[in-house]
């Protein structure tokens, strides 16, 4: 699946794009809270002053004359009006509204008044927004003609200019403070991001300063923990590049070493054939040249196959090992008959899927069969065994074993079998390059498996086992 391409944005800019809007949201929320706090503080302060005016008027109420009388504290009202920086209205009335003194039609409280509990609310009086404080208490002596108990209502209202000015001033101070703090926080944020990004800049400079052929790992000393996975990933990539460079160097060395001698031999044989006047001997020399040329071609093909197994990308697909083994064994029957080898297949009657490059896997199994057929000799048996080895909590291993009952190898040679260009003492009688098992081992490793080499049944012959991880679930498979 193709990964989505993200727009090229620096980490510094991305952090600022994420954090600055967040800071603005927090500042806006803090400003709203400051407004609410300022409003509550203004209401609390001015409502206490309003309650003082209510209590002052209430203390001047008298019913001694049989009616409702109020000795208005004009100086107190003038002082309160000066403090409120606006107009002040008052109203004193009995609860039934029959007796009323002061400003009529002041907004009534939205909730019924409780005795001796003031209530504050906002309203409108003659087109002006006002804040009203209302208070109710029982009269000790009811108004003449009224039945006890009787309550008197005292209301004092003021316009809201002073409250609004107080809120506005407090909000402006809060806004200036928040703006200053936000600027300081933004500067600190930019400086912190720049400081936090400095290890990446040093890491970039170190990579850029390297020579093209420098494949030594990067030093993780002093790198922050968040950057450490990147350093490990770069070192892993450097390690793979070093392995590929080593594989290419090894291939060039192997090719030059292995092809120099056959080519020199061919040159000598061609020169000899050119100088030979006898047609019979000349034909013999040409036959020898043909054999040497065939061996050189085979060796070159194996070198190229080994290089492809080392570096070529794998075309992975579900492959049924049973069908692949049947086809490869069938292809090897003619060679087995020519060598007098009894070739057979021992496998369960069920699909055994693996995720593999079908061409490489078929070539690897073909190499194992060719080695076994060519080195065991006439009258021997070569059998391809297929089986699965379960694993707890993981997909099973698929074993592809080529077992023969030939002469086998001594332990010291068996330990080195699979090394490039290594051939046992008995193998020198048979043409070969010593690259077949090295190719099989490389294919196994690239597929996440391994090549196991051990003596055959009863200590006779050789058992070469290609071990691969099975697919975890059934899937459509190719025969390879």
- The pLDDT of residue 431 is 52
DSSP state of 59: T
CATH domain 316-469 topology: Heat Shock Protein 90 (3.30.565)
- The pLDDT of residue 74 is 61
> Does pLDDT of 323 surpass 90?
yes
Q: Give the tens place of pLDDT for each residue, 29-71.
A: 887 887 888 788 878 888 888 888 888 888 888 777 777 777 7
Q: Give the tens place of pLDDT for each residue, 444-474.
A: 888 888 988 888 887 788 888 989 998 875 4
Residue listed under structure tokens 């036959």: 287
Reduced to 3 states, what is the DSSP secondary structure of residue 404? Answer: strand
Q: How far apart are the C-alpha atoms of 476 and 328, rounded to whole Å?
A: 20
**Cα separation values, 29 from 35, 41, 184, 333, Å:** 10, 18, 18, 83
- The pLDDT of residue 366 is 87
> What's this model's pTM, rounded to 2 decimal places?
0.46
> Residues of the chain with pLDDT > 90: what percent?
8
Are 177 and 169 in contact, with CB atoms under 8 Å apart?
no
- The pLDDT of residue 384 is 92
- The pLDDT of residue 1 is 45
- The pLDDT of residue 42 is 77
Q: Give the tens place of pLDDT for each residue, 198-215.
A: 777 777 777 778 787 777
Other beta carbons within 10 angstroms of residue 36's beta carbon come to 10
> Does pLDDT of 408 surpass 50?
yes
15-167: CATH, from 3.40.50, 3.30.1380, 1.10.3470, 3.30.450 = 3.30.450
Contacts of 251 (CB under 8 A, 6+ apart): 303, 306, 307, 310
**Within the chain, how many helices (H) and strands (E) appear?**
9, 14
Residue listed under structure tokens 């070539």: 363
Q: Report domain extents, the chain.
A: 15-167, 228-311, 316-469
- The pLDDT of residue 429 is 44
**Lowest-pLDDT choice from 115-124, 283-292, 332-341, 372-381:** 283-292
């Amino acid at each position: 699946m193709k990964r989505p391409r993200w727009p090229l944005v620096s980490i510094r800019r991305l952090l600022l794009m994420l954090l600055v809007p967040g800071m603005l949201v927090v500042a806006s929320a803090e400003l709203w809270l400051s407004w609410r706090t300022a409003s509550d503080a203004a209401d609390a302060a001015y409502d206490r002053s309003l309650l003082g005016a209510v209590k002052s008027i209430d203390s001047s109420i008298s019913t001694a004359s049989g009616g409702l009388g109020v000795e208005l504290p004009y100086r107190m009202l003038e002082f309160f009006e000066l403090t409120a920086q606006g107009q002040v209205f008052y109203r004193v009335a009995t609860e039934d509204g029959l007796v009323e003194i002061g400003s009529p039609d002041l907004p009534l409280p939205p909730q019924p008044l409780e005795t001796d509990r003031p209530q504050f609310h906002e309203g409108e009086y003659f087109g002006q927004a006002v804040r009203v404080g209302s208070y109710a208490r029982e009269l000790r002596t009811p108004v003449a003609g009224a039945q006890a108990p009787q309550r008197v209502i005292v209301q004092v209202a003021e316009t809201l200019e002073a409250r609004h000015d107080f809120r506005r001033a407090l909000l402006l101070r809060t806004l200036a403070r928040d703006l200053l703090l936000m600027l300081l926080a933004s500067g600190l944020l930019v400086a912190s991001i720049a400081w936090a990004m400095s290890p990446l800049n040093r890491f970039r400079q170190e990579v850029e300063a390297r020579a093209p052929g420098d494949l030594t790992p990067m030093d993780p000393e002093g790198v922050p923990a968040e950057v450490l996975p990147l350093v490990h990933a770069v070192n892993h990539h450097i390690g793979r590049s070093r392995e590929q460079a080593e594989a290419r160097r090894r291939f060039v060395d192997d090719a030059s070493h292995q092809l120099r001698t056959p080519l020199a031999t061919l040159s000598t044989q061609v020169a000899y054939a050119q100088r030979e006047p006898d047609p019979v001997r000349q034909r013999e020399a040409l036959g020898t040249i043909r054999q040497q040329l065939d061996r050189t071609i085979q060796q070159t093909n194996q070198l190229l196959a080994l290089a492809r197994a080392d570096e070529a990308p794998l075309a992975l697909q579900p492959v049924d090992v049973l069908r692949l083994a049947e086809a490869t064994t069938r292809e090897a029957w003619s060679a087995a008959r020519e060598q007098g080898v009894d070739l057979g297949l021992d496998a369960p009657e069920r699909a055994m899927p693996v995720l593999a490059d079908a061409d490489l896997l078929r070539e690897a199994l073909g190499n194992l069969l060719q080695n076994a057929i060519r080195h065991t000799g006439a009258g021997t048996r070569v059998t391809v065994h297929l089986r699965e080895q379960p694993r707890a909590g993981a997909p099973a291993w698929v074993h592809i074993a080529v077992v023969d009952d030939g002469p086998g190898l001594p332990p010291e040679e068996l330990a080195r079998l699979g090394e490039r260009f290594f051939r046992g003492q008995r193998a020198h009688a048979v043409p070969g390059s010593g690259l077949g098992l090295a190719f099989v081992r490389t294919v196994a490793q690239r597929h996440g498996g391994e090549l196991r080499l051990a003596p055959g049944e009863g200590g006779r012959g050789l058992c070469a086992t290609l071990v691969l991880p099975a697919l975890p679930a059934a899937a459509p498979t190719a025969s390879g």
